[in-house]
Amino acid sequence: MPSATSLLLTLLALTTLTLYATYRRALFTLNTRRPKPLRHGRRNPKEPTHLLIVLGSGGHTAEMLAMLDRAVNESDPLKRLDWRDYGHRTWVVGEGDTISAARAREFEDMATALSSQETLMAGKVKKATDAGPGKFDVLKVPRARAIHQPLSTTPVSAFKCFAGCWKVLTGQVAKGVDFPDLILVNGPATGAVMVYTSLVMRFFNVRGCVTSYKMRTIHVESYARVKKLSLSGRLLCYVTDKFLVQWPALDARRQGAGRAQFAGVLV
C-alpha cells in the first residue's frame, strides 16, 4: 500500500495542477483580445446579430435609453448605431419593473420606425435578403438587490438573479436565438450579475459560447459617478471587455480602476 507521504504528495500535485488549470482558464475567459465573430453586414442571415441590454430602474434606465437614443440618432455614420445590425435584441428588466419594460418597447418602436424611415428616404427598395428591423424580447429576472435591502440578505437575492440570468441566456438559445454577441450594462446590480453569469458560462464553454466567441461585455459607468466608481463598477472593472467612464477622474490611468477608459459624455 502507498504510504501516507506518497498519498499526500499525489494530492498536493493534483491540487496544484487543478489550481493552475483554473488560473489559465480564467485568464483565457477574461482575455479581451480573444477573436470576435466575423460579420459581413446585416444582409447575411447567418451573421451573429444578438444584442442584450440590461435595464435597472429609474436613473439607470433613463441613462441607458438616453445613451442608445444618442447612438441611434448620431449624425456621424461611423459612430451611429444601426438598429438593423442586431437582428434580435433582448431587454432584461427586474421583476416588477413595469416602467422599464414599457420604455424598452417604446424605444423599439422609435428605433424601428427611424430605421424604416431612413431606408425610404434613401430611395432604397427592400431586398429579399434584408431581415428588416428584426425582433426583440423583454424578459424579467429576479432583482439582484432591492433599494434599501440589507446586505445580509443580498447573497440570496443575487443567487436568484444569477439563476434567472442563466435561464434567460439558455432559454434564448433553446428558442433558436444564439447567445448574445454583446451584453450592455450600465450600473444596476442585475447587470453585474448578468456579466458574471456570462463569465461562468464562458469559463465552462456552455453550449459552445466560447468557441463561437460569444458574449462580449461592455459596462458604462453612470454619469453621476464623477470621482468614485459605483459598487457594480468596482465589481466589473477588471472583468468586462470594455469599461467606459464619463469623467476623466475615473480613468484607470489616473486611479488604477481596472480597465476603465474615459469615453466622454455618452448620455
pLDDT at 44: 61
Picking from 83, 86, 80, 91, the residue whose alpha carbon sits closest to that of residue 47 is 86
pLDDT at 82: 79
Cell of 113: 420606425
Picking from 26, 60, 88, 65, the residue whose alpha carbon sits closest to that of residue 190 is 60
Domain ranges of the chain: 46-241
Q: How far apart are CA 236 and CA 258, in angstroms?
A: 9
pLDDT at 134: 79
Cβ count near 117 (within 10 Å): 10
pTM for this predicted structure: 0.87
CATH class entry, domain 46-241: alpha beta
Which tens digits make up the pLDDT trace of 50-98?
A: 999 999 888 899 999 999 999 988 888 888 887 878 889 999 999 999 9
pLDDT at 37: 67
* Contact yes or no for 197/162 (Cβ under 8 A): yes
- Please name the helix (run of DSSP H) or strand (run of DSSP E) that holds residue 261, with its range, or none: strand 260-262
Picking from 162, 161, 134, 126, the residue whose alpha carbon sits closest to that of residue 146 is 161
* C-alpha angle 204-210-214 in degrees, rounded to nearest 5: 125
Which tens digits make up the pLDDT trace of 206-231?
A: 998 888 889 999 999 999 999 899 99
Average pLDDT per consecutive 10 residues, the chain (267 residues; last block may be shorter): 82 92 90 73 63 92 95 85 86 94 93 61 46 83 86 90 96 89 93 97 92 91 92 93 93 77 90
